[in-house]
Copies of this chain bind each other. A is one copy, B any other.
Amino acid sequence: MTFEIYLMRHGLAGQFGDYEDDAIRPLTEEGVKKTQKVAQRLKDLGIKFDRVLTSPYTRALQTAIVLQSIGLVEDLETLDPLQPEGDPLAVITHLETLRQTDQHIAIVGHEPDLTQLASHLISGNDQTNLVLKKAGIIGLTSPIEEGLIGKCQLFWLAPPRLLLG
């Protein structure tokens, strides 16, 4: 059974420092629109998720809700290790559990956490240099039934510019 993991960085958000608590900094109007376009492109590509795991921070949660509202997924789940400066290895442990039931997972979060997570999955360490733009996507697949770390394959890495044509 193929297990696919899509990592999506939250869309363009308000200015850092304009909000007392960074956790409630929202997407801008432009950020919402571009995220909607990316979500629509994913839908047009025939993608559907069994579950979206998201950082509880507002800008990530809003991004996850865009995926949900466009019909890409029913179930959202916030996951504290997806917070900024979170814990990629705890996220992977959670993915190991979900692999028992789900086939297509989306993860919405922050940088540099998401590319570090991808690096662990494709290289077994956090030393691989990947660039993930806001509302950009990384697609990973785990072809074999063993641990995920260092075993996944990266088949997509795209900024909105490439996704939207």
Q: A153 contacts the other chain (Cβ, under 8 Å)? A: yes
Q: Please state if A153 and B130 are interface contacts (CB–CB under 8 Å).
A: yes
Interface residue A91 (Cβ < 8 Å from any Cβ of B): no
A131 near B157: Cβ-Cβ < 8 Å: no
7 tightest Cβ-Cβ pairs between the two chains A and B: A131-B155, A157-B157, A129-B153, A123-B128, A122-B129, A165-B165, A131-B153
Mostly, the A contact residues are mixed
Nearest-Cβ distance from residue A65 to partner chain B, whole angstroms: 24
Docked complex Cα distance between A159 and B154 (Å)? 11
- Chosen A-B contacts, 16 in total, with CB atoms closer than 8 Å, are A41-B165, A45-B161, A122-B129, A122-B130, A123-B128, A129-B151, A130-B153, A130-B154, A154-B157, A156-B157, A156-B158, A156-B159, A156-B162, A157-B157, A158-B162, A165-B165
Asked if A131 and B154 make an inter-chain contact with CB atoms under 8 angstroms apart, the answer reads yes
Given the known inter-chain contacts A123-B128, A165-B165, please indicate yes or no for A155 contacting B151, CB distance below 8 A. no
- A153 CB, nearest partner CB in chain B, Å: 4
Q: Provide the residues of chain B in CB contact with A163, threshold 8 Å.
A: 162
